[in-house]
Amino acid sequence: MLTYGGMFLFHTVSATAQLVTPYIANRLGYGIKHIAVIAPNSVADRYFIVGVFALVFCLTIAIRPNFFKPKDSQNLPYPIWKHRRDLELSKGLNVIRLVPLSSLMTFAEQNLVAKYKYVTVIIGGRKFLASPYEWVPEDSAVVRDKESGTIIGI
């Protein structure tokens, strides 16, 4: 409570006079200056409410980052790889080693892959779209453009 009063209430007393600029009522520049006085309590309350919303938003993104991302589209050229679901499709019942998809890329590609939602990957002879942060089998290959050598993704 002391932080609330110290940070917002006492600082908004001088800030309200600086934020509200006076305007002149006459077009010629002569006349009466109107100054609106804002109560510091109302400014402090709004800062507090905005701070609470910002805290909730940051915690939501920290706990569930996929909450604000769009859902999977149905019009994709290849199926989406989910290592928990599609693991049986790639090797059957054999034990396989999973690695992060980023380990199959160079350092420069790892920095550029953030702009993609999905990267095209060959897993078990089939093409899949995988998230750049997904785990894939170790013998997987990232599909690259023949001419430029860049990663193909969406």
pLDDT digits (tens, 9 = 90+) for 124-135: 888 999 988 888
Which structural domain, as residue segments, surrounds residue 13? 2-68
Q: Is the pLDDT of residue 70 over 70?
A: no
76 in any annotated domain: no
The band of 121, judged by pLDDT with boundaries at 50, 70 and 90, is: very high
Which of 102, 125, 127, 98 lies closest to 114, judged by CA? 102
> What pLDDT, in 10s, does the model give residues 14-49?
555 555 555 555 555 555 555 666 777 777 888 888
Are 47 and 91 within one domain?
A: no
33 in any annotated domain: yes
The band of 2, judged by pLDDT with boundaries at 50, 70 and 90, is: very low
> What pLDDT, in 10s, does the model give residues 84-98?
665 555 555 566 788
14 in any annotated domain: yes
152 in any annotated domain: no
* Spatial separation of the C-alpha atoms in residues 82 and 69, rounded to whole Å: 17
Average pLDDT on 64-82 reads 74
3-state secondary structure of 29: coil
* Spatial separation of the C-alpha atoms in residues 150 and 18, rounded to whole Å: 53
Mean predicted lDDT score pLDDT of the chain: 75
Are 15 and 51 within one domain?
A: yes
Are 51 and 87 within one domain?
A: no
Are 93 and 136 within one domain?
A: yes
Write down how long the chain is: 154
Are 10 and 46 within one domain?
A: yes
18 in any annotated domain: yes
149 in any annotated domain: no
- Domains in the chain, number: 2
